[in-house]
Amino acid sequence: MAAKVLQVNFKLNAPVSDYQQMCQSLADTFASIPGLNWKVWILNEQEREAGGIYLFQSQDALNDFLSGPVAAQVKTHPGLRDVSLKTFDVMEGVTAVTRGPILAAAMAR
């Protein structure tokens, strides 16, 4: 199956420092999600916007995440607002040309 990308964005209702501490405490939880190859944590302090870019091994793994408890907590967390979750296919050929880490993730399966 082809890799799938999940893009998550949201605004912060909490101080950035509180958000950063929360992320630190949740990193191991995200690292143990089945079928998740990697997550890049993103933050724009000035705009108080954050989120993540996730690479899942398959559509099934992405669907399992989206229907699971971690995604539910992200969607409903009181410290976050305007949560957006978007899924994408990976354009593997051109991503390889621009050195995207997709092939390394596929080989690690």
pLDDT at 13 > cutoff 60: yes
Contact between residue 52 and residue 65 where contact means Cβ atoms under 8 Å apart: no
Look at residues 77, 102, 71 and name the one whose alpha carbon lies nearest to residue 8: 71
pLDDT at 108: 56
Distance between CA atoms of residues 84 and 75, nearest Å: 8
DSSP state of 72: H
Q: What is the pLDDT of residues 28-45, one digit of tens each?
A: 999 999 999 999 999 999
Least confident of 57-66, 75-84, 100-109: 100-109
Query: Which residues sit opposite 80 in a β-bridge?
Result: 12
Higher pLDDT, 35 or 1: 35
* Domains annotated on the chain, with CATH: 4-107 (3.30.70.100)
Q: What is the CA radius of gyration of the chain?
A: 14
